[in-house]
């Protein structure tokens, strides 16, 4: 997969040299390119923004600069492409969205700053046949789209074939198929700070362990994410679940 990130702060994306994503890039599994939006400015001051039509606080990013940048990075690749625009007014990014994004040939992330990007940019590419998705991380405000780009790249990259060493790690996890949060996990030592690892996990009884984990996952989800419990299909609950 190819991912292009365009930003006025390309240094924000330096962390993508590290860890799993860094290794995926070095192994040739992910072709990630980070670009400085100012490379597509034409004036001495390398201007990317201007005052909003209609008035109001802050600055808006100019569509002409973004248009030159996005034309270049979209024309530089082929296959299924999607233009992602991080914004607090976008659709919420979920694991389902991430799984869908992992099927594209190219993701282009347009990281806005200030009060956002002139709305004609999304409109123009959508009208030109490019799939455009405005995405939000959640209900809070960040200063720009760079952190969302980090999130998208990391969440998508770990789904690409060969990136996560043990593909079983991708199966049993929070926001996975079960529709529940993950159960608590423990390792050695069996006693630490006066706290014991739950005895059942040391029992070697796989059936009991599986039931215990499901109970703890349900308990957590009820307490922390009642919205997820409400969304569970009734068929996914068994009679033991109802006792929890
Ligand atoms: Cl994607 N961008 C900004 N600026 N703020 C956010 C966000 C994105 N998601 C949540 N807050």
CATH classification at residue 157: 3.40.1280.10
Are 123 and 214 within one domain? no
Range of the domain at 195: 175-243
Are 66 and 83 within one domain? yes
Are 140 and 238 within one domain? no
* Residue spans of alpha helices (H) in 168-205: none
Q: What is the DSSP letter of 191?
A: E
Give the Cα separation of 98 and 52 in Å (integer): 33
Average pLDDT over residues 48-57: 98
Which of these three, 167, 201, 219, is where a domain ends?
Answer: 167
Q: Which residue minimizes the CA distance to atom 8 of ligand 1?
A: 87
As a residue count, the chain comes to: 244
Q: Using the mean position of ligand 1's atoms as its centre, give its distance from the Cα of residue 186 in Å.
A: 34
Are 140 and 220 within one domain? no
Q: Which atom of ligand 1 is nearest to the CA of 86?
A: 1
Give the Cα separation of 102 and 234 in Å (integer): 29
Are 31 and 131 within one domain? yes
Q: Which residue minimizes the CA distance to atom 5 of ligand 1?
A: 142
Give the pLDDT score at 165. Answer: 86
Q: What is the CATH number of the domain that holds 219?
A: 1.10.1270.20
pLDDT for residue 240 is more than 70 = yes
- The answer to whether the annotation marks 79 as part of a ligand binding site is no
What is the three-class DSSP state of 179?
coil
Which of these three, 116, 150, 167, is where a domain ends?
Answer: 167
Q: Using the mean position of ligand 1's atoms as its centre, give its distance from the Cα of residue 113 in Å.
A: 10
Q: Using the mean position of ligand 1's atoms as its centre, give its distance from the Cα of residue 191 in Å.
A: 42
pTM reported for the whole predicted model: 0.94
Cβ–Cβ contacts within 10 Å for residue 153, how many?
Answer: 24
Are 61 and 143 within one domain? yes
> 114: phi > 0 → left, psi -120 to 50 → alpha, else beta; which?
left
Are 71 and 16 within one domain? yes
Give the Cα separation of 6 and 77 in Å (integer): 15
Number of domains in the chain: 2
Cβ–Cβ contacts within 10 Å for residue 118, how many?
Answer: 21
Are 91 and 194 within one domain? no
Give the pLDDT score at 226. Answer: 97
Are 60 and 163 within one domain? yes
Q: What is the pLDDT of residues 95-154, one digit of tens each?
A: 999 999 999 999 999 999 889 999 999 999 999 999 999 999 999 999 999 999 999 999
| ipTM > 0.85, yes or no | yes
Give the Cα separation of 186 and 45 in Å (integer): 55
């Amino acid at each position: 997969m190819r991912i292009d990130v365009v930003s006025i702060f390309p240094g924000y994306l330096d962390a993508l040299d590290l860890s799993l994503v860094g290794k995926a890039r070095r192994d040739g599994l992910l072709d990630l390119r980070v670009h400085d939006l100012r490379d597509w400015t034409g004036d001495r001051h390398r201007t990317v923004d201007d005052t909003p039509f209609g008035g109001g606080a802050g600055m808006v990013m100019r569509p002409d600069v973004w248009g030159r940048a996005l034309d270049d990075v979209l024309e530089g690749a082929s296959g299924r492409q999607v233009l992602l625009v991080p914004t607090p007014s976008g659709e919420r990014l979920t694991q389902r969205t991430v799984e869908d994004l992992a099927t594209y040939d190219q993701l282009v992330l347009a990281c806005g700053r200030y009060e956002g990007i002139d709305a004609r940019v999304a409109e123009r590419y959508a009208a030109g046949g490019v799939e455009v998705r405005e995405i939000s991380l959640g209900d809070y405000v960040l200063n720009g789209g760079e952190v969302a780009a980090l999130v998208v790249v990391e969440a998508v990259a770990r789904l690409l074939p060969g990136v996560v060493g043990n593909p079983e790690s991708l199966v049993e996890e929070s926001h996975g198929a079960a529709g529940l949060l993950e159960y608590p996990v423990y390792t050695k030592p069996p006693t630490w700070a006066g706290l014991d690892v739950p005895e059942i996990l040391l029992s070697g009884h796989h059936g009991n362990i599986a039931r215990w984990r499901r109970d703890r996952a349900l308990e957590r989800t009820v307490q922390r994410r009642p919205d997820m419990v409400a969304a569970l299909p009734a068929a996914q609950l068994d009679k033991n679940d109802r006792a929890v």
